[in-house]
Amino acid sequence: MRLFRRGEVETSMARLVAGLGNPGPEHARDRHNVGWMVADELARRHQGSFKGKFHGRLADVRVEGEKLALLKPETYMNESGASIQAAAAFYKLASEQVLVVHDDVDLETARLQARLGGGLAGHNGLRSIAQRLGTQEFLRLRVGVGRPGRGDPRPVADYVLSGFAPEDDVDAIVGQAADAVECLAVEGLEETQRRFN
């Protein structure tokens, strides 16, 4: 399903890309903040600079002519929907034009899955977004962070609020997720699923 054709949206915002995370330097490299890391990487690649807006940090970039708003909600994960709803309303975007990049414990570390809609899988950030947008029919890029390994006594909540393991190539994980966002923006969902899922 191709939601936008190249060049179709000339001056208006084609998509809101919201990377989920928690504010504060202590969370900067947490698994739960992989969405923020992807937003930062996209801003770096496309010369975007973040400024405070919509209870978060916002940067406008162009990817092969497609105008994207990159958003890092600073409301803490559980209230991400407030920031995303405000930005989507400002740009007059439908829920299908909102792409949420988030960590997912049900996928192996570094595995990606792009999809439109779906369940919330106990993810408080997704729950907040669905409540605020009034629908679960928004785009997601799930970035696998895995679960605690055998013998790891930590609950999942503590696990996602900790850093990646030393053997995980965080830069490669973030880079590939950013590649998937670019593909989705330019080529559409089906091509992104074919290449990255």
Catalytic residues, which ones? 32
The number of CA neighbours under 13 Å toward the Cβ of 76 is 3
